[in-house]
Amino acid sequence: MNIFDKFQPLAAARQSIEQQCSAFFNIVMEEIISATEAVVNGRRMILAGSNNYLGLSFDTDCIKAACEATRRAGTGTTGSRMANGTFSGHVALEKELADFFRYRNTIVFSTGYIANLAMLSTLVGPDEVILLDADCHASIYDGCRLGSAEVIRFRHNDVNDLEKRLRRLAKRNTNVLIVVEGLYSMLGDRAPLADIAAVKRKYGAYLLVDEAHSLGVLGENGRGLAEETSMEDETDFIVGTFSKSLGTIGGFCVSNHRQLDLVRYASRPYVFTASSSPGIIASTRKALNILRTRPELRRRLWKNADMLYQKLQNLGLSLGPESSPIIAIRQEDKVEALAIWNRLVEHGVYVNLVLPPATPDGGALLRCSMSAGHTSEQIEHIGQAFAAAYQTAQTG
């Protein structure tokens, strides 16, 4: 048996998709023009599938900070945080994140994915339990698999199902960590955090909220769903990423538990991963400062999100349950979804096409992400492209 034989079903699925839409696996961003435009396979396109919520990836101050740090400290650290990879910038960013979130302690990781791997594989151990929302991100599932805790799923945003499982676990007298997301990445819906926190408090559990998509998006100060719902004091751990609203790459965990620092010494993903480069850290610090001092970016983001959500809703499309910067169009038929995605590309609009098993309900999703950087003219063009793509599908 060939070592690659087990991938034959995957190869067959890929071949089937390529026959229906040859461009799907061959998307190359040949030139990035701005936070909202790129040349893709020779065609200039509006980027309506990026998670660049505040449009900071092209901010001149962020770029300047990255260049200056690179000239001063080099292109990389060439070591993990536990070896030679902790620079003064890493320490400064951790202090600034703690101050921003108003939590005592912070750990910065090289990616948001690693932040979840590190925390979930280390924080909860043998004979302890992780209760996670069924729609949680792959990095959360992988973090759970990497660790030795028992993992139990509860139905998406179903507090009654969560409480039923907590009630059963109460007899075991063990530590339970509840894991949810502030803003879910597929459909853009929020966790019912106040109700979850009440159940958590009732049963003496711990609560971790992944604010990857809600940092810079939700809350009066952009701290996420925990801030928006006034549940920061009830949230034991907040995990997030720099690769959405902050426009860079990296991850973090903040907590009021003084023992958080011990995770540094126990977590293999932290101990054995090279730390973020000086340029990334510097641009992240600048982006965090912009997030704190320019709330108009968040207001513009929501104006754009509401505008596109309304346009697509007026077309009669099947959308996620509420307006958010993540706007997902449900499509039951995978073949039709591929065809519509291809027509959008032909109209100069790039969105994410998400296929099973990555989707929460087994269907396909055409997933848009709005940015503060989008202009009203671009949003109008996106709406027109969807109208044309679906009209062709109906007449087609």
Q: Looking at residue 394, what is its pLDDT?
A: 66
Q: Establish whether 275 is a catalytic residue.
A: no
To which residue do tokens 């011990």 refer? 262
62, 56 contact by CB (below 8 A) = yes
Q: Looking at residue 355, what is its pLDDT?
A: 87
Q: Looking at residue 25, what is its pLDDT?
A: 84
Question: Considering 90, 137, 200, 213, which one is annotated as catalytic?
Answer: 213
- Which token pair is 68? 């200056």
pLDDT digits 0-9 by tens, 3-31: 999 999 999 989 988 888 878 888 899 99
How far, in Å, CA of 384 to CA of 372, rounded?
20
- Assign a CATH topology to domain 11-47+295-395: Aspartate Aminotransferase, domain 1 (3.90.1150)
Q: Where are the domains of the chain?
A: 11-47+295-395, 60-293
Question: Considering 185, 214, 324, 371, which one is annotated as catalytic?
Answer: 185
Q: Looking at residue 27, what is its pLDDT?
A: 87
| Spans in the chain with pLDDT lower than 70 | 393-396
Kindly report each contact of residues 233-236 with a partner whose C-beta sits within 8 Å and lies 24 or more positions away, as own/partner.
234/197, 234/200, 234/201, 234/207, 235/193, 235/197, 235/207, 235/208, 235/209, 236/206, 236/207, 236/208
Domain 60-293 CATH (choose: 3.30.9.10, 3.40.50.720, 2.40.50.140, 3.40.640.10): 3.40.640.10
The answer to whether 11-47+295-395 and 60-293 have equal CATH topology is no
pTM comes to: 0.96
Q: Establish whether 185 is a catalytic residue.
A: yes
How far, in Å, CA of 162 to CA of 154, rounded?
6
Q: Establish whether 244 is a catalytic residue.
A: yes
Question: Considering 244, 334, 347, 374, which one is annotated as catalytic?
Answer: 244
